[in-house]
Amino acid sequence: MTLSRMPVVRMHLAAAAASLHAEACETAGKLPANVERVAHLVDDALREADRDVPTDVRGLPPEDWAAL
């Protein structure tokens, strides 16, 4: 993914976070476990997207990983 797409990614994640927040408000904060897990993943993704990392932190793929 190129850096030029990150604002769009952030926008979609923010929309998902807002929708999940609205769902939590409508259910008095009692979300099903899977929806709560999704909310945590969206929050984690937003935090990660806001980090300024100048290099690829994933490292090299394993040697036995087939190149696509």
Is there a contact between 49 and 6 (Cβ–Cβ < 8 Å)? yes
Give me the torsion for CA of 34, 1, 65, 38, rounded to 10°: 0
pLDDT at 23 over 90: yes
pLDDT level of residue 6 (50, 70, 90 thresholds): confident
Give pLDDT, residue 49. Answer: 85
Collapse the DSSP code of 27 into the 3-class scheme (helix H, G, I; strand E, B; otherwise coil) and give the result: coil
pLDDT 10s digits, 24-67: 999 998 889 999 999 999 999 999 888 876 666 677 777 888 76
Give pLDDT, residue 35. Answer: 92
Give pLDDT, residue 3. Answer: 57
Residues 9, 48: Cα–Cα separation, whole Å: 11
